[in-house]
């Protein structure tokens, strides 16, 4: 092996070739999957690369090939454990397939122009949107620049944009049915003022199912957004109403946590004795002993898997038609809707 000369700059493939005593093409083949290179040459190249601290610049290589394998993940509300779990599964799934996810955080109301510029400047191979940011502006830019795009739990925007969503309508019906089966005939809804496509669908389906089952909806008590603080605000409005329904339907689990804590620790209500509660999502906290919440589960692994598969299929075949994809949901019954134990 040739003598090492420290230059203070980032080592190049030419430096590796010189140190290993091989050609630059041999170095290139060593770091190219499937390329032919002898074991002896590979060993020499890898040893030289290790000594120099050399790493292949995959971004530069992929840009020269017009395919970066970068996938933009547009995300928000990462304090929500379901959102965090979904993004984790998306990122891990993409990495396992040798794609390179990078996060583009945003919040509803933010100007997404900067995010669009970043995606286009980095020549992303595709993008997945999980945030509550209205996706139309992102979708328009991606379609205009032939960037495959998947929207998760978002309204359809048409064109070549792929939609992957939980079955929100089934989720709403299940919420009504489990309360009916628990003996509830009057219910309060705890929801949010901030618009949400999937929550809007499930609430509409819940309301329709209640009408079919003969369940009276006594009111819709709202917080600002569908998080813990929103649940507390919804509970405050509910308690202030003085109404005494059999049950409460919370539009998602995160909001339900705040709702439950407030009615139990402020009004000292017993769940399920004084009020039965059902929600939707089955986040990890829903199964904690302190909440034990009946809910409708949407599976983040199934959603992430479907989103990744659809995106890669579209990358491989830009003209492949992909109809909207709906992921099934399942009821998870816990203590919050069970009958109170008999006093006899």
Look up the pTM and report it. Answer: 0.80
Q: What is the pLDDT of residues 81-129, one digit of tens each?
A: 999 999 999 999 999 999 999 988 887 777 777 778 777 777 889 999 9
Average pLDDT over residues 237-244: 98
Q: Would you say 76 and 132 are in contact if contact means Cβ atoms under 8 Å apart?
A: yes
pLDDT band at 344 (very low <50, low <70, confident <90, very high): very low
**pLDDT attached to residue 64:** 46
Predicted confidence (pLDDT) at residue 244 exceeds the cutoff of 60: yes
Query: DSSP letter at 223?
Result: E
* Distance of alpha carbon 142 from alpha carbon 161, whole angstroms: 9
Domains and CATH numbers, the chain: 13-56 (1.10.260.40), 67-166+300-328 (3.40.50.2300), 168-297+331-337 (3.40.50.2300)
Query: DSSP letter at 337?
Result: G
Residue for token pair 């992909």: 322
**pLDDT attached to residue 55:** 66
One DSSP character per residue, 266-284 reads TS---TTTT-EEEEEE--G
Average pLDDT over residues 172-176: 98
Q: What is the pLDDT of residues 183-197, one digit of tens each?
A: 999 999 999 999 888
Predicted confidence (pLDDT) at residue 26 exceeds the cutoff of 90: no
């Amino acid at each position: 092996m040739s003598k090492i000369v420290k230059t203070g700059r980032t080592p190049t493939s030419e430096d590796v070739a010189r140190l290993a005593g091989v050609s630059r093409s041999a170095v290139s083949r060593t770091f190219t999957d499937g390329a032919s290179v002898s074991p002896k040459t590979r060993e020499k190249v890898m040893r030289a690369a290790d000594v120099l601290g050399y790493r292949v610049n995959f971004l530069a290589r992929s840009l020269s090939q017009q395919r970066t394998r970068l996938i933009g993940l547009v995300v928000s509300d990462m304090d929500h454990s379901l959102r965090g779990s979904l993004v984790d599964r998306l990122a891990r799934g993409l990495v396992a397939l040798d794609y390179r996810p990078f996060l583009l955080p945003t919040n509803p109301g933010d100007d997404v122009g900067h995010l669009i510029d970043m995606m286009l400047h980095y020549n992303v191979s595709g993008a997945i949107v999980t945030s509550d940011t209205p996706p139309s502006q992102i979708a328009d830019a991606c379609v205009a620049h032939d960037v495959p795009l998947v929207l998760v739990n978002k309204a359809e925007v048409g064109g070549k944009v792929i939609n992957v969503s939980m079955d929100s309508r089934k989720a709403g019906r299940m919420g009504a049915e489990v309360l009916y089966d628990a003996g509830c005939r009057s219910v309060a809804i705890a929801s949010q003022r901030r618009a949400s496509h999937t929550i809007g669908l499930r609430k509409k389906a819940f309301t329709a199912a209640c009408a079919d089952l003969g369940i009276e909806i006594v009111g819709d008590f709202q917080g600002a957004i569908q998080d813990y603080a929103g649940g507390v605000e919804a509970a405050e409005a509910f308690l202030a109403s003085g109404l005494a329904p059999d049950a409460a339907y919370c539009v998602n689990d995160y909001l339900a946590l705040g709702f439950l804590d407030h009615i139990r620790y402020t009004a000292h209500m017993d769940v399920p004795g004084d009020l039965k509660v059902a929600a939707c999502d089955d986040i990890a906290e829903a199964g904690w002993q302190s909440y034990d919440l009946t809910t409708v589960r949407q599976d983040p692994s199934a959603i992430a898997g479907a989103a990744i598969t659809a995106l890669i299929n579209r990358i491989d075949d830009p003209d492949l038609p992909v109809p909207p994809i709906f992921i099934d949901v399942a009821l998870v019954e816990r203590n919050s809707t069970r009958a109170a134990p008999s006093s006899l």
